[in-house]
Structures are given as C-alpha cells and as structure tokens.
Amino acid sequence: MLIAQLSDIHLDGVTSLQRLDRVLQWVAELKPDAVAVSGDLANNDHAASYAVLKTRLGAFGAPLLVVPGNVDSREAMREVFGGPGEGPLNGVVQVGDVRLIGLDVIVPGAAHGDAAPVLGWLEAEINSGGAPALIFLHQHPFDCGMDQYETIDCRNKEGLAAVIEQAKDTVLGISCGHLHRTMFTRFAGVPATLAPAIAPMGGLAAEGRKMPATDPPALLVHHLKGKNLVTHVISIGG
C-alpha cells in the first residue's frame, strides 16, 4: 500500500501550477493506492483553484483525502471536494486495511491551528473499531524546535496526544504540513512526519543557526505493509 502525501501546494498562478505538475507526473507513474493532501492547497481564487486540483488529483483514480490549511477556504473546499455540510472538514477514507483520517484543525483567519474542537470527533472515529489509521492534519502538533514557528503550531496538542495514546495500536502515524520543511519526530508514541512542500521550501533555523533553503519540491510516500510503516521522501529536482 503506497500513499502519496502532497502538502502546501499554494496554487497562485502559472509557476505554482508548473511545480505541481512536475510532481504529479512522478505521482502518476507511481500509481499510488491513495493520495492525501495536508493543507494549504491554494492562496487565492479558492473555488477555481480547487477545481483545477480536483481534476488533476482525480486523474489518478485513487481515493483522495484533503484537509484544509490556514490559507484555504473551508467553504470553497466543501463546495468542490464535498464533506460534512458544516463545521470542520474532517474526513475518513478507507483504503484496503488502512483508514486515512483527515483532521481539520484550522482556525479561520489564523496561522495556528487548534485540535480542541475536533478531539471528540477524532476520539469517536479512532475508537469505532475500524482499521489501523494514519492521521493527516495541517499544523504541526509537536514542538518543531524552530523558534519562529512554535507560535503557529496546532494548539491543544496535549489533548490530541491523549486521544492517540489511549488508542495505541490503532494509530500507525500522524503527518502534517505547514512549515515547508521535512521533519521526522515522534508524537504521542507514534511516528510523526512533517511533509515537504510543493511550494518553495523553507530553510533550517534552529539553535541560533539559520540556513537558506536548498530543497526542490518534494512529497512523502507512506509505505504500509500490514502495520509496518516506512515513509519515503521524494524530491522532484530539475
């Protein structure tokens, strides 16, 4: 089972679409079993941009899970991609023996996110007796160590951690986007990844050192064999 995760596409014109299309060319050859998009799909012209994305991502014929990011419009996403009639755009896609859970933690108008409003929903979903799950959300629920980004994280991460911890074996991993910088850590006892961006990447800034970004657009491919999860980083250079 191969799940392609795209993040932070930030569609805003021709250049961004060209970057995306280079990545999608690779994804098309992969023939993923599912595609997950972890937010910040489009900067503006939301409904029209989502329609463009839906056509391109739909061409793979694979199940699609989309969660909003801070630059997205929930309403336009609901209109184009469907989902619950009101409130957060949480979603679940079952692919074989795995559940992809999309958690909408955005706070409209803010750069940070907040898990509190969707914890009840997540707890019910995780404990519904379904298949092992991978959770996707936009803002990082862990301390990323980069000072200027700690304030735009997903708030109420303790509550989120508690829900995941009590469900132990059911949650295989959690993956977000938002910071345009690939990261690997652990959260609530499970592997946690921050997916690279399709849009320009950000540099490393930690421990008082600041490095410029040199990374090309990239994506994650989550490889699941039973409950064994291996995550690949695929950079699309050239």
Residue 160 to residue 55: CA distance in whole angstroms: 33
**Nearer to Fe ion (CB atom), residue 69 or residue 159:** 69
**Least Å distance between CB 69 and Fe ion?**
4
**Nearer to Fe ion (CB atom), residue 23 or residue 67:** 67
- Residue nearest Fe ion, Cβ-based: 178
**Least Å distance between CB 48 and Fe ion?**
20
**Least Å distance between CB 204 and Fe ion?**
18
**Nearer to Fe ion (CB atom), residue 178 or residue 222:** 178
Residues of this chain that interact with Fe ion (CB under 5 A) are 40, 69-70, 178
Residue 29 φ/ψ, nearest 5 degrees: -70, -35
**223 and 1 Cβ atoms separated by less than 8 Å:** yes
- Tell me the C-alpha to C-alpha distance, in Å, between residue 27 and each of 4, 64, 219: 7, 13, 9
**Nearer to Fe ion (CB atom), residue 70 or residue 182:** 70
**Nearer to Fe ion (CB atom), residue 41 or residue 167:** 41
**Burial annotation 69-105 (CB, 10 A radius, 16+ → b, else e):** bbbbbbebbbebbebeeeebbbbebebeebbbbbbbb
Residue 152 φ/ψ, nearest 5 degrees: -110, 35
**Least Å distance between CB 197 and Fe ion?**
9
Residue 189 to residue 165: CA distance in whole angstroms: 7
What sign has the CA pseudo-torsion 193, 114, 127, 58?
A: negative
**213 and 203 Cβ atoms separated by less than 8 Å:** yes
**Nearer to Fe ion (CB atom), residue 40 or residue 215:** 40
Residue 176 φ/ψ, nearest 5 degrees: -125, -170
